[in-house]
Structure 1
């Protein structure tokens, strides 16, 4: 079995269908079949654009406004990921989006950490073998692009600092990149630097190379998506020289019409340029994908080789927001594939 790593997966875009059924029953909502749920949770193959893609977060967020539900979703997602063969994952979410029914951002994070700890306790009580090694995980808290949420974003940074090393591993900035430029969020990352919270930033997806340059200037250790770096040869060279990892999400990028098909996805070009590219799911349920599916699609579309896959996984191991011991564990697992 492959030893897979997913560094870029959104909690609200990755609710397992079984979990949705369970929570709908708990919330007293009318039961729906998977077929009836599909248009609420997942985009079709002919998804029109980013706007249609973003619509699929509305229904999941309705189920993510209580501590118990958030804990259950984190636990269930980790269970699904381990069964798929993941050995490391970093799950991200925006605490401010889960405060509609009275939760504080800190309470949201505590619930997510509780789900993580519950999974760890159950996993450690079972027998993990060489065939099925442990799945280790961390949480990334997202500040959100938008207007009028400046204080909420700063609170997210402060909460990230409070729980750093206690389940939380980093900060992120997500949302409508083209409408709300990265440069407008300098205060968020100034505070993150002051509080010594490491961060990644969604950049170079809806907006171009300048968004990536701004993220680098802020001090981002990784770039979410980042595939539009290829529009700027000098930027590609900088990313390669500084070994800044890109969290590439192929299926998601096709869903939002960044590329016409998987045959045009530039993962090989990034590797050949020396960029530390990685492959991730972004939103498992919205994009109807898994980490293993991402690799299979690239194998079928561009003939991704076993050597290239191993390099992508080693890149991911090096890119984690974790310590050297964890990186060494992952490198060893990948070398044994």
Structure 2
């Protein structure tokens, strides 16, 4: 399992708008709880939703699928991530719906494998068929909201509406006034990728036709899933980028690779990297793990503890790919 936390310094961004009020396009905000003066208080801060980040990650999977010759449906390629949710989608892709009678568990597994063979994004990002006999595959990639760092009672974040005017030079009276709310913050986000479960069906039952093909594609599928993390590590997500491309700088990150479930410390404190290193070692002993690797990028002068220093996101992805290949070779 790969888990990571990242801190970005982001200035003047409108990556996640939620609605228009008159001529104002609002930035998404959310309530958070922080401790100030010994008391817990609620503050509303700019945020970027996990749905927005996950969408960008899954569209990066589409690009990787093309390069690695892996399957993706036309709907997914267009960014319509409805993922085999109804019978019309199944008919369009030539997939038989799961049977309602008989060995339904086995047929759920057959159906899941058929979908995975049709679409890499449904494999890594999961899907939910909501027909007569529902079948679900949980996403192997998890991500939460990107929120401002909550440290020492202060929240380094601010929202401001920027005034703009559209007009016609030939008719000056044709003016359209609009305001876009932009945010600036030191943000943090956390993510997980269960790369070991990629290309592995989750529904119970004996092996079905198609699983061998999935195993033959496993390394390419894992490679696509890991390379797509580059989108997360470099902040290449969110909307309204054509005219509000943010000034975004990766300040620090910690990423762990384990053979047991583990979530890195969120980047709210300046010792989140060293805390992650300490915790993952203890978790290995408690859970009987055999593999623990901790990597860190630091451009803030933080305490890295036992984490291995990595220079940039490109080297981080390279190391994760090397470890994934070693792990798969050991399994063979």
Q: TM-score, normalised by structure 2?
A: 0.27
Structure holding more helix per residue: 1
Q: TM-score, normalised by structure 1?
A: 0.27
Structure holding more strand per residue: 2
Q: Which has the larger radius of gyration?
A: 2
Which of the pair has the greater relative contact order for Cα pairs under 8 Å at 6+ separation? 2
